[in-house]
Amino acid sequence: MSSAASAGPATIGSYFANTENKGVKRKRNVVVVDKYELDIDSVDPNSPIAPAVVAAMKQRIIELEEQLASRPPPAKRARKVNDSAVIAEASSSANASVAPSTTKAEDKKRKLQLKKIFDRLKKECKSESVKFQGTSKTIKFDEVLEYDEFQTIFGGKGTLIQPTPENKPKSTVTIIEFRTTAAIEDLLGDELKALKGNAWTRGGGPYFSKSIKQGSVDVDIIHLDVTYSKNGMKCSLKFEVEERGGGNHSFGPSHRASVGGLGRSFLW
């Protein structure tokens, strides 16, 4: 029994003598019976030792051996640290390479959305309901956009009217104005292309004339108002457009001139 007891302190001593275990919190007490802790340093290996003490020390030796077995050798630990550094560096490089790709994808999506908006504007400018007769015209339509999409397209562009610290800071409705040519060009970028519309004569007037389409004219965007509802994901765009140069449109020919085959001089 004494030999078994002497083996206990020797094994424990060899563990704590190992330079690799410096800094490890030393546990010199073992639980013997009913949570009673025995100080190992007080055990005399030359004296008779109770079986309970031997059993407790044996259990402690097994615990220490398991702890040692679970720790990798110094060389493997160093390699593991180096591997971690390599993995971290690779991850950082991967993130750096993904960022430009993500930005490129977002730019592409933004351009597609702007193209869709501008194509809609082009279509409306050429429609029969928009008659350029020397005055500006309002063209309004809606788009459904998620909040992130809206921010990607309009964030940081134009003049923010709402919400601002001074104007409804907690509002979920965003209002942005584009009042200058530079602001509109900054928003649309390469998607800003030539716009065409149809010039018409003015209807009515002293001769009860009818509006007549005169032909294609160049159209400019005067300003744009954007209103976005975060809750409804509704983006309302209101364009103010006009014929380039303002146009100079007279009244159309009289309808009375041809009524019943009678001339204008007869009727007036």
Q: Say yes or no: 37 and 117 in one domain.
A: no
Is 55 part of any domain?
A: yes
Q: Say yes or no: 47 and 131 in one domain.
A: no
Flag the least confident range among 22-36, 132-146, 166-180.
22-36
pLDDT, tens digit, 9 for 90 and up, residues 162-179 = 999 999 999 999 999 999
Is 214 part of any domain?
A: yes
User: Which pLDDT score, from 0 to 100, does residue 262 have?
Assistant: 39
Q: Are 41 and 28 in contact (CB under 8 A)?
A: yes
Is 90 part of any domain?
A: no
With a cut of 80, say whether residue 120 has pLDDT above it: yes
Which domain-ending residue is among 70, 88, 122? 70
Q: Say yes or no: 133 and 242 in one domain.
A: yes
Q: Say yes or no: 252 and 119 in one domain.
A: yes
With a cut of 50, say whether residue 34 has pLDDT above it: yes
Which domain-ending residue is among 18, 51, 70? 70
User: Which pLDDT score, from 0 to 100, does residue 94 have?
Assistant: 47
Is 152 part of any domain?
A: yes
Residue 256 tokens, joined: 């009375």
As a whole number, the mean pLDDT across the chain is 76
With a cut of 50, say whether residue 215 has pLDDT above it: yes
Is 75 part of any domain?
A: no
Closest CA to 226 of 130, 136, 149: 149
With a cut of 70, say whether residue 74 has pLDDT above it: no
pLDDT, tens digit, 9 for 90 and up, residues 86-104 = 555 655 554 544 445 558 8
Share of the chain above pLDDT 90, in %: 42
Q: Say yes or no: 251 and 118 in one domain.
A: yes
Q: Say yes or no: 64 and 131 in one domain.
A: no
Output the CA torsion sign for 107, 113, 116, 118. Answer: negative
Please state, in angstroms and rounded to a whole number, the distance separating the CA atoms of residues 263 and 220.
Answer: 41
Is 89 part of any domain?
A: no
Is 202 part of any domain?
A: yes
Please state, in angstroms and rounded to a whole number, the distance separating the CA atoms of residues 233 and 214.
Answer: 40
User: Which pLDDT score, from 0 to 100, does residue 88 have?
Assistant: 59
Domain count, the chain: 2
Q: Say yes or no: 140 and 188 in one domain.
A: yes
The whole domain housing 54 covers 2-70
Strands 173-178 and 159-162: antiparallel
Q: Say yes or no: 63 and 139 in one domain.
A: no
Q: Say yes or no: 33 and 132 in one domain.
A: no
Q: Say yes or no: 34 and 167 in one domain.
A: no
Q: Say yes or no: 225 and 147 in one domain.
A: yes
Confidence band, pLDDT 50/70/90 cuts, at residue 140: very high
Is 150 part of any domain?
A: yes
pLDDT, tens digit, 9 for 90 and up, residues 39-54 = 667 767 777 777 777 7
